[in-house]
Amino acid sequence: MTLTLSVVGCGYLGATHAACMSSLGFTVIGVDTDPNKVAMLQRGELPFYEPGLDTLLADQMKTGRLSFTTDFSAVKDADIHFVCVGTPQSKDGLAADLTYVRSAVAEIAPYLKDGSLVVGKSTVPVGTAQSLRDQLAKTAPQADLAWNPEFLREGFAVEDTLTPNRLVVGVANDRAEEILKQVYEPIIALGTPWIRADLPTAELVKVAANSFLATKISFINAMAEVCEAAGGDVTVLAKAIGYDPRIGNKFLQAGIGFGGGCLPKDIRAFMARAEELGAKQALEFLREIDAINLRARHRVIDVVRSELSEDLTKYKIAVLGATFKPDSDDVRDSPALDIAAQLQAAGAAVVVHDPKGIEPARKRFPKLEYTEVVNDAVKGVDLILHLTEWKEYRAIDPSVISGLVKNKIIIDGRNMLDRDLWRNAGWKFHALGRSD
């Protein structure tokens, strides 16, 4: 039997999942409440930047298997419904806002056919899946619900969806697992580990993984603070500890810390949920992880002040990078943009450059100055901040831009630039966690 899938919520996760599932040969109906997003997707255009997904989407639209609509009743033909809506941090606290997940399930409930399976992919507080399953038992008893967390990284979304390092399914019975095995059969055939869990464990796997990644980053940023105090070099330290396979060399890049739509809000929501469950103490360390992360942003501003002056009102600063990471146009909780805005609030004139994120950044901080040309950004500045590790910034020739700036001072907030290259060109070069 050829399965028809629906994907509810066509943001980052949903649009990627819909296009990837279509590429596996399924008929896929994407539903979203935002008519502009749907219109773009239906034209085969991606509403955000993600390498490789633009061409995949355009190709899949041509097959006729993939379509997008704002009409929830379109899901009536689908056998499996993937819920991919956002779970942002709530406005009044640390917890996740579940409005969209709950309303997505409520919206599709009237159209669920006999034996269909609703599969949650959104990152949710543990216990949500069971409560949604209970809700469905009342409103659509003919359908079942499973949870299948997604681990995709921005910049690698297609790769992480089609060749993930594991598939995790939270199910309440064998039938739900069998259905999900049918969907993922081509991916399982690649040898991808398959992990069957109960609903709460599947939900927890996602937040545990993101908490671990956040902890690794904050750990190395804590070491950076100690290195600065003790006269050490965190990049050498990270390299040295990374050779121990129990530690590993990934996610030990010290700098201005993590941002984006996932890690910051996921660790906060996890803490809030643990407290509700009476397990607050178990996750107290995440509060420190969050604090170390936010402190990294202040530390870079401290270096700026020590280089220029406590009073920044007379200074012009170029910020290279606005997105939370390279190969993305996502500026959600971006440390780079946060630092740019804080410097401006402190009175500095700030010019921001980014290869892909200027428009989203402008929406968030309309008063910052933006430019699409690096040479324009650095013209006449007293200091350059390198805050997102785009490849093009590593290709900048310091001797070429020397004649453009007022002062040859650069701070590498990502520990990615070639320090010797800059120093040999006569620049004062600082990096977080490197006292030299």
Query: Is 264 near ligand UDX (CB under 6 A)?
Result: no
> Per-residue contact track with ligand UDX, 307 to 336, x per CB under 6 A?
-----------------xx-----------
Query: Is 263 near ligand UDX (CB under 6 A)?
Result: yes
Query: Is 225 near ligand UDX (CB under 6 A)?
Result: no
Q: How far is CA 424 from CA 127, 197, 307, 342, 399, in A?
A: 57, 55, 19, 31, 9
Q: Compute the distance between CA of residue 6 and CA of residue 81 in angstroms, rounded to an integer.
A: 5
> Per-residue contact track with ligand UDX, 65 to 94, x per CB under 6 A?
------------------------------
Comparison of 315 and 324: residue with beta carbon closer to ligand UDX: 324
262 in active site: yes
Query: Is 217 near ligand UDX (CB under 6 A)?
Result: yes
Query: Is 305 near ligand UDX (CB under 6 A)?
Result: no
User: Using the rule CB under 6 A, which residue among 213, 237, 350, 387 binds ligand UDX?
Assistant: 213
| Contact criterion met (CB below 8 Å) for 383 and 300 | no
User: Using the rule CB under 6 A, which residue among 102, 113, 153, 362 binds ligand UDX?
Assistant: 153
Collect all residues with Cβ–Cβ distance below 8 Å to 293 and sequence separation of at least 6.
Answer: 214, 217, 218, 221, 257, 258, 264
Q: How far is CA 133 from CA 18, 111, 145, 165, in A?
A: 23, 16, 6, 27
DSSP per residue, 310-362: S--TT-EEEEE--SSSSS----TT-HHHHHHHHHHHTT-EEEEE-SS-HHHHH
Provide, rounded to whole angstroms, the least separation between the CB of residue 268 and ligand UDX: 14
Angle at 85 between CA 82 and CA 91, to 5 degrees: 155
Tokens matching residue 418: 């070639």
Interface with ligand UDX in residues 34-63 (CB under 6 A): none
Query: Is 219 near ligand UDX (CB under 6 A)?
Result: no
**Residue range at the interface with ligand UDX (CB under 6 A); choices 151-159, 303-311, 378-386, 392-400:** 151-159
Query: Is 413 near ligand UDX (CB under 6 A)?
Result: no
Query: Is 251 near ligand UDX (CB under 6 A)?
Result: yes
Comparison of 32 and 150: residue with beta carbon closer to ligand UDX: 150
111-133 burial, b at 16+ Cβ within 10 Å, e below that, comes to bbeeebbbbbbbbbbbebbbebb
Query: Is 255 near ligand UDX (CB under 6 A)?
Result: yes
Query: Is 257 near ligand UDX (CB under 6 A)?
Result: yes
Query: Is 151 near ligand UDX (CB under 6 A)?
Result: yes
**Residue range at the interface with ligand UDX (CB under 6 A); choices 35-43, 77-85, 167-175, 209-217:** 209-217
Collect all residues with Cβ–Cβ distance below 8 Å to 334 and sequence separation of at least 6.
Answer: 259, 260, 322, 323, 324, 357, 361, 388
| Contact criterion met (CB below 8 Å) for 422 and 410 | yes
Q: Is the dihedral of CA 321, 322, 324, 326 positive or negative?
A: negative
**Residue range at the interface with ligand UDX (CB under 6 A); choices 188-196, 246-254, 349-357, 422-430:** 246-254
**Residue range at the interface with ligand UDX (CB under 6 A); choices 150-158, 172-180, 283-291, 397-405:** 150-158
97-110 burial, b at 16+ Cβ within 10 Å, e below that, comes to bbebbeebbeebbe
Query: Is 262 near ligand UDX (CB under 6 A)?
Result: yes
Query: Is 258 near ligand UDX (CB under 6 A)?
Result: yes
> Would you call 12 helix, strand, or coil by DSSP?
helix
Q: Compute the distance between CA of residue 252 and CA of residue 159 in angstroms, rounded to an integer.
A: 22
For the chain, what is the largest distance between any 2 Cα atoms, rounded to a whole number of angstroms?
71
As a dihedral over the C-alpha atoms of residue 395, residue 319, residue 292, residue 239, rounded to 10 degrees, the angle is 10
Query: Is 259 near ligand UDX (CB under 6 A)?
Result: yes
Query: Is 215 near ligand UDX (CB under 6 A)?
Result: no
User: Using the rule CB under 6 A, which residue among 260, 321, 355, 360 binds ligand UDX?
Assistant: 260
Comparison of 335 and 398: residue with beta carbon closer to ligand UDX: 335
**Residue range at the interface with ligand UDX (CB under 6 A); choices 37-45, 245-253, 362-370, 398-406:** 245-253
Comparison of 65 and 353: residue with beta carbon closer to ligand UDX: 353
Query: Is 253 near ligand UDX (CB under 6 A)?
Result: yes
Residue matched to tokens 């999900």? 180
Tokens matching residue 119: 């599969």
Tokens matching residue 54: 């633009």
Comparison of 112 and 152: residue with beta carbon closer to ligand UDX: 152
| Contact criterion met (CB below 8 Å) for 329 and 250 | no
Query: Is 210 near ligand UDX (CB under 6 A)?
Result: yes
Collect all residues with Cβ–Cβ distance below 8 Å to 420 and sequence separation of at least 6.
Answer: none
So which residues are the catalytic ones?
262
Residues that bind ligand UDX (CB under 6 A): 150-154, 210, 213, 217, 251-253, 255, 257-260, 262-263, 324-325
